[in-house]
A and B are shown apart, each in its own frame.
Chain A
Amino acid sequence: MTNPPETGDRTLAVLLDDLLPPAVGVPTIDAPRLAEFAARHSRSAPLARLLDIVAAASPGTPFADLDAAARAALLSRIRRQHLAAFADFFLLAIQCYCLDPAVRQAFGDDPAAPFPNGRSLPDGDLELLEAVYERGPLFRDPHALTDKEQTP
């Protein structure tokens, strides 16, 4: 079954709202962005596949027109029955989401490439090692062991 484009767009928008909703202080991604991301990475197939599964699972009423409880129940069933397809779709959505600069900033991540500026990192407290040092060596030195000690 092929999902009509307009229905597919609405379904995708509502799917994203349900699965990756905006939260306090955290934006989310919209359907066009996910579709563009999937196309750019030659991974539109998982997206189309889940849309087809959703369409097939709600033949009477378009998914986007269902109420929230009905959508949640439907998605729960799809996740159980089409585990791999659901995971492929959601992992793709997660990739698009987590690479979005605004989303990354919202989580306290630096959206810039690590290079060339790098990241700053505290040295940590090397005095914590005193206790380790004071316990003394813990390696075995074969040259210092007697024959008796070397016998297992």
Chain B
Amino acid sequence: MAGLPPVDILIVGAGATGAAVAWRLGQAGLDVLCLEQGEHMDPAHYPSTRPDWELARLQDFHVSPNVRRREADYPINDSDSPIAIANFNAVGGSTILFSGHFPRFHPSDFRVRSLDGVADDWPIDYQQLAPYFALNDRMMGVSGLGGDPAYPPIDGLLPPVPMGRLGACLGRGFNRLGWHWWPAYAAIATRPHHGRPPCINLGPCNTGCAQGAKASTDVSYWPAARQSGVRLQTGARVSRVTLDAQGKASGVLYFDATGNEWQQLARLVVLACNGVGTPRLLLNSACPAFPDGLANRSGLVGRNLMLHPLGYVEGLFDEALDSQLGPQGCSIYSHQFYETDSARGFLRGYTMQVLRGPGLLETATSGFLRREIPPGPGFAAALRERFGHLAAMGIIVEDLPDPDNRVTLDGELTDSHGIPAPKIHYTLGDNSRRMLAHGLERGKEVMRAAGARRTAAFGPVRHTGWHLMGTARMGNDPARAVVDARGRCHDVDNLYIVDSSVFVTSGGVNPASTMQAIALNIADGIVARRNAA
């Protein structure tokens, strides 16, 4: 194994948070290298450049690495979970496939124990993160509409993505019920932004944006980070973090694209591998000083996995909604049931995220599988009745931390380099079940109020485990947290974690905006510490 000259800062993972931290540290003039196991994606080959784009979702752009099986992917044993893990491994990470739905956490999400008596408060709050939310919005190019009563004021947004007939129809339904709704916050540029062209409504944002309007970090943060001098090495799969004699992180071991193993030395190591990849790496980095996994004296590495159980609600309308058109995950949303009201029978709350309707193939496939579109003479008529007439809604349920929901190492399964794969142990808690049931019913109520002729609802949906949180939680007490308020591991002074592993609670919204704001905040802490040294 060959050793490489040390760098100041070594980041593992070039996804949502790794890119943001790399840019921020590069801007501060630090010597930064990022190792990423995936490669650069070529937008010219994204599915939306092909007429058969719907097929790609079932194949090499499937959300599950176990189905997709790209060279950069590692397997995940999620057979012990009702929710399968979704991710993507490339420069840009899972933002390559995310829908771009980009709401922030609420102020109350950081004070869960104080306000609602469950879980724990965070050691940071919304006010502290506010400037980083704003900075991140500028870097990503976030669209939306100011004046949303669900949030403190949010400025500087690009115009919202068009809600279309679908959004307007459901908006009227929400109005009839007197419930909150608002145009979605979206990490999708609706005007030219930092050299990115505006959205042209390709539709399947969640198979990669060929236009470059969606802010996957390969087109948002990385160009700016590279300009700042940050170096990015792809095809580099890190197997473990190494320690020096003083118990500090000395660097990492990794395999390059040709399978050769290297040791990259570093003065400070930052992990940005997501809520499954980061605990996997820490557990794989067990050593005599940390026999249960690196930075795991608390025993909490891998524990408290939160996944946001997702419910699906559908309404069938007589009127043509053209619901197949538009950014798939972004139209309008509701936080009517976001803040706690214990009269509902559960604590905390959820998002109702209006989704665009399915394409023709998915309409036909799901209709057949659910026995709503029969083979035979009635097939075409039933398909015509549904295509473009379906409204869909995701119910994103806040998942409370439970130490038994966890990531461990699989005893047998390994990736292509022989590195033990992660194993997921996860069940829905009672609070989540009650909340999900409530959300599914309220979703159907909205559909009916908007004029739906038929409704359907079910959950949790299996292939929706995008939001991977809590597995290296943040807190001031080393006995009850893996990292401190600035993302520094309590047990290893120069090891930082910046991805959503550090989340104390999960909120009830897509976490990308909040985790990037936290990552930028942590990056500034690293810079301040460097400057003070």
Contacts and interface: CB of A to CB of B under 8 A. Distances in A.
Given A87-B369, A139-B106, A122 B381 contact: no
Contacts of B449: none
Contact of A142 (B115, B211, B336): B115
Interface string A110-148: 011111111111111110110111011111111101000
Interface string B148-190: 0111100000000011110110011011001011110000000
Given A94-B365, A113-B49, A113-B51, A152 B360 contact: no
B42 to A, nearest CB: 13
A15 to B, nearest CB: 10
Contact of A132 (B149, B201, B387): B149
Nearest to B127: A143
Interface string B194-237: 00000011111000001100000000000000000000000000
Contact of B164 (A18, A94, A122): A122
Given A19-B375, A94-B365, A123-B162, A111 B211 contact: no
A135 B178 contact: yes
A95 interface: yes
A119 B106 contact: no
B66 interface: no
Contact of A118 (B180, B211, B335, B365): B211
A75 B377 CA distance: 13
B361 A119 contact: no
Contacts of A23: 377, 379-381
A40 to B, nearest CB: 10
A75 B359 CA distance: 28
Contact size range, B: 35 or more
A124 B165 contact: yes
A101 interface: yes
Contacts of B200: 115-119
A138 B360 CA distance: 38
How would you classify the secondary structure of chain B's contact residues: helix, strand, loop or mixed?
loop
B37 interface: no
Contact of A139 (B150, B201, B360, B365): B150
A124 B49 contact: no
B291 interface: no
Interface in B361-386: 361, 364-365, 368-369, 375-377, 379-381, 383-384
Contact of B376 (A19, A95, A121, A124): A19
A104 B116 CA distance: 51
Contacts of B182: 129, 132
Interface stretch (B14-22, B52-60, B277-285, B477-485): B52-60
Given A94-B368, A135-B149, A150 B164 contact: no
A138 B339 contact: yes
Given A21-B377, A107-B387, A114-B53, A122 B165 contact: yes
Interface residues of A, number: 57
B162 A118 contact: no
Nearest to B50: A113
B375 A142 contact: no
A99 interface: yes
Interface string A10-25: 0000000011111100
Contacts, number: 187
Contacts of A21: 376-377, 379-380
How would you classify the secondary structure of chain A's contact residues: helix, strand, loop or mixed?
loop
B325 interface: yes
A113 to B, nearest CB: 5
B461 to A, nearest CB: 19
Nearest to B181: A132
A17 to B, nearest CB: 10
A108 B175 CA distance: 30
User: Which of B203, B360, B376 counts the most chain A CB atoms within 10 A?
Assistant: B360
Given A125-B168, A126-B145, A135-B149, A141 B107 contact: yes
A22 B338 CA distance: 48
Contact of A150 (B114, B172, B375, B379): B114
B117 interface: yes
A112 B339 contact: no
A138 B339 CA distance: 8
Contact of B116 (A119, A122, A132, A152): A152
A63 interface: no
A109 B359 contact: yes
Interface in A54-99: 72, 75, 79, 87, 90-91, 94-95, 97-99
B325 A129 contact: no
Contacts of A101: 51
Given A111-B51, A119-B201, A152-B117, A95 B163 contact: no
A20 B381 CA distance: 11
Interface string B43-75: 000101111111100000000000000000000
Nearest to A129: B182
B120 interface: no
B149 A124 contact: no
A109 B324 CA distance: 9
Interface of B: 46, 48-55, 106-108, 110-111, 114-117, 125, 127, 145, 147, 149-152, 162-165, 167-168, 171-172, 174-175, 178, 180-183, 200-204, 210-211, 322, 324-326, 335-336, 338-339, 342, 359-361, 364-365, 368-369, 375-377, 379-381, 383-384, 387-388
8 tightest CB-CB pairs across the interface, nearest first? A118-B200, A152-B117, A23-B380, A124-B163, A114-B202, A115-B210, A124-B168, A98-B361
17 contacts: A18-B376, A21-B379, A26-B380, A91-B369, A95-B55, A99-B51, A101-B51, A107-B383, A114-B53, A118-B200, A119-B200, A120-B325, A123-B163, A124-B171, A137-B149, A138-B336, A140-B106
Interface of A: 18-23, 26, 41, 72, 75, 79, 87, 90-91, 94-95, 97-99, 101, 104, 107-109, 111-126, 128-129, 131-133, 135-143, 145, 150, 152
